[in-house]
């Protein structure tokens, strides 16, 4: 009866036609989630954002040129700009970028896909916050890391966070139906949502698969969460050419949306 429901375990790093960050309706819900201070959904809460800014600021010098990959509505870029850095933010969620531009005309914002079109320019620091590195396939991650490396001046740093192997304590394989009679996060009107989580133990990845059923339309979303050991991510970064890599744990406050098992990585060119 229900056509086109895709409920089999996706192939490793398979992509869906629809994207939770760029879907015309969901991108606006994502913006609301970024701005909601009661939840760590989409962006971490302010307390953790401030701890992250303090941590990162130790590794970047005054007047540095900073690129924020996946900047969302600019919660970090605006604080870095206030600290005197020259800031560029890129994100492919148009609702978030429009909000960010509206808020701050003194920051350069680019609405685009940083994997497909890496922003031009030279940078002293590139940051990527909230485990976004883990949402990409290993192939796209390596392409991105090579572009980041090329865009950094010697002595420049890449700073990002990834989930550690401890995430397996917080996530389990599951399947769940949600019925929303008058719309909600996923659609403006009545919908049914099938959510599935699968674990790829050998590849250190989880996938979240969503089938969204609304009147007359089905949408299919796949979201990846790759996690790392300190040794693996260090080897990957050294393989790209970064000469010094360090991992830092327990930087943030507790998280009420996703796993608390993350580490920050500092990679120096």
Which C-beta is closer to ligand SAM: that of 113 or that of 260? 113
Stretch that binds ligand SAM, among 88-96, 161-169, 179-187, 218-226 (CB under 6 A): 88-96
221 binds ligand SAM (CB under 6 A): no
Binding-residue total with ligand SAM (CB under 6 A): 19
Question: Can residue 41 be called a binding residue for ligand SAM (CB under 6 A)?
Answer: no
* Binds ligand SAM (CB under 6 A): choice among 18, 35, 115, 247: 115
CB 254 to ligand SAM: min, Å: 16
Does 114 help bind ligand SAM (rule: CB under 6 A)?
Answer: yes
- CB of 72 or CB of 156, closer to ligand SAM: 72
Q: Give me the 126-165 binding string for ligand SAM, x by CB under 6 A, dash otherwise.
A: ---xx-x---------------------------------
Say if residues 33 and 42 touch (Cβ distance below 8 Å). yes
- Please count the residues of the chain: 269
CA distance 40 to 129: 13
Please choose, out of 5-13, 71-79, 154-162, 256-264, the segment that lies near ligand SAM by the rule CB under 6 A.
Answer: 71-79
Both tokens of 8, joined, read 């089999």
Q: Which residue is nearest to ligand SAM (CB)?
A: 70
Residue 96 is a binding residue for ligand SAM (CB under 6 A): yes
Q: Does 225 bind ligand SAM (CB under 6 A)?
A: no
Query: Which of 56, 60, 75, 79 touches ligand SAM by CB under 6 A?
Result: 75
Is 206 a binding residue for ligand SAM by CB under 6 A? The answer is no
d(CA 21, CA 89): 16
Q: Which is nearer to ligand SAM, 96 or 234 (CB)?
A: 96
Interface residues toward ligand SAM, by CB under 6 A: 21, 34, 42-43, 70-72, 75, 90-93, 96, 113-115, 129-130, 132
């Amino acid at each position: 009866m229900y056509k086109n429901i895709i409920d089999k375990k996706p192939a490793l790093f398979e992509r869906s036609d629809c994207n939770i960050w760029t879907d015309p309706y969901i991108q606006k819900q994502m913006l609301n989630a970024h701005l909601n201070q009661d939840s760590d959904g989409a962006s971490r809460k302010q307390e953790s954002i401030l701890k992250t800014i303090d941590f990162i600021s130790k590794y970047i010098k005054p007047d540095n040129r900073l690129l924020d990959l996946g900047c969302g509505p600019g919660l970090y870029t605006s604080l870095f700009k206030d600290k005197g850095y020259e800031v560029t933010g890129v994100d492919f969620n148009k609702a978030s970028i429009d909000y960010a531009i509206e808020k701050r005309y003194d920051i350069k914002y680019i609405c685009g896909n940083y994997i497909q079109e890496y922003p031009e320019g030279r940078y002293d620091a590139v940051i990527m916050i909230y485990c976004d590195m883990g949402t990409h396939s290993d192939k796209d991650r390596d392409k991105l890391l090579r572009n980041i490396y090329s865009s950094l001046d010697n002595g420049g740093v890449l700073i990002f966070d990834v989930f550690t192997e401890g995430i397996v304590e917080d996530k389990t394989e599951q399947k769940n139906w949600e019925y929303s009679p008058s719309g909600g996060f996923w659609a403006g009107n009545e919908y049914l949502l099938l959510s599935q989580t699968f674990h790829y133990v050998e590849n250190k990845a989880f996938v979240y698969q969503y089938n969204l059923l609304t009147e007359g339309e089905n949408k299919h979303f796949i979201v990846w969460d790759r996690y790392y050991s300190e040794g693996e991510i260090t080897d990957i970064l050294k393989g790209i050419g970064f000469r010094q890599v360090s991992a830092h744990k327990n930087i943030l406050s507790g998280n009420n949306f996703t796993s608390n098992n993350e580490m920050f990585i500092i990679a120096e060119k």
